[in-house]
Amino acid sequence: MQISGYRKSIIILLVTALHSHCLIVGGQETIFIEGAKGVGVIAGRISESDARRDAINQAKIEALRQAGVTEHLSSYELLFTSESDHDYSEFFSSDVQSELQGAVQYYEVVDEQRKLNPYSNFFEYEVTIDATVIKYTTRPDPAFITKVDGIKGVYDRGETLSFSVHSTKDCYLSIFNITDNNAYLMYPNQWEVHQGIAAGETKEFPFGFVEYYLDNSSSEPEVNRLIFVFTKEPVHFLRYRDEDQSTDSEIIFSWIYSITPDIRRVDYHTFVIR
């Protein structure tokens, strides 16, 4: 999918990092965990890269456990599996959103090795990470209700995408698109600035001199996964690359779940370009 328009603006990127062993700010506690380990098994159709990814996910869960996020760990396993498979339907259609008590905001792989397990006789991939974990001290606001309308399930290449959004609270919106091969920040963009959405207002997208043009260079249908992140305060996503605002799904979800649940609502919609 391409976004085309007639106006350009300059986007300045600013990335900051904060490492703290324990810091409480704005409804969340930040804890730095060192040496969390995870293991992935290399067997059958599970390749070394698959095992490494599984090991990282297990290390994230271990970091959450060490930080004191001990309940609903299966919800995090579902999230990490969704990130790996690019299939978020079960994650967003369940009660997982309200169960999450924290998130891995950032991690760094500090050690990794492939070794043979003498008991199972399978090779394993072991990963050790240092991680910054957020623990929430707030809960989702049940009165903060959002709605997205107008997205069809299937589009033909060459069509344009349009939709409307509605919220019961004053809020701001960021939209991401994830395909099998790419992920990027769709809105705001160089033609559409970040604007507030008033409570009770129905906001039409796109707005201004811009179109969401649907293209598919593949001979196969392309699945597009739109993630709408509504926040009561302006929270800017800055970790993207180049003019197309490309990023990756792991960074997107780390950003989403670094926002406290009392000011955040997430909607998920998929469509196919054939």
The residue ranking higher by pLDDT, 14 or 63, is 63
- How large is the average pLDDT for residues 1-23? 38
Distances from the Cα of 114 to the Cα of 59, 109, 123, 142, angstroms: 15, 14, 7, 46
Please indicate, yes or no, whether residues 124 and 43 belong to a single structural domain of this protein. yes
CATH code: domain of residue 145: 2.60.40.2550
pLDDT digits (tens, 9 = 90+) for 98-155: 778 888 988 999 999 999 999 989 999 999 999 999 999 888 999 999 999 999 999 9
Q: What is the largest CA-CA distance in the chain?
A: 64
User: Where in the sequence is the domain holding 254, given as residue range(s)?
Assistant: 2-6+140-273
pLDDT digits (tens, 9 = 90+) for 19-47: 334 544 456 789 999 999 999 999 988 99
219 pLDDT more than 90: no
Instruction: State the pLDDT confidence band at 205, using cuts at 50, 70 and 90.
Output: very high
Please indicate, yes or no, whether residues 147 and 94 belong to a single structural domain of this protein. no
Instruction: State the pLDDT confidence band at 1, using cuts at 50, 70 and 90.
Output: low
Cα–Cα distance, 181 to 245 (Å, whole number):
14
Q: Is residue 172 part of a domain?
A: yes
Tokens, residue 227: 């993630």
CATH code: domain of residue 119: 3.30.1660.40
Please indicate, yes or no, whether residues 261 and 144 belong to a single structural domain of this protein. yes
Domain boundary among 115, 136, 157: 136
What is the number of other CB atoms lying within 10 angstroms of the CB of residue 209? 11
Instruction: State the pLDDT confidence band at 197, using cuts at 50, 70 and 90.
Output: very high
pLDDT digits (tens, 9 = 90+) for 256-268: 988 999 999 999 9
**Kind plus residue range of the DSSP H or E element containing 274:** none
Cα–Cα distance, 170 to 155 (Å, whole number):
31
Overall domain count for the chain: 2
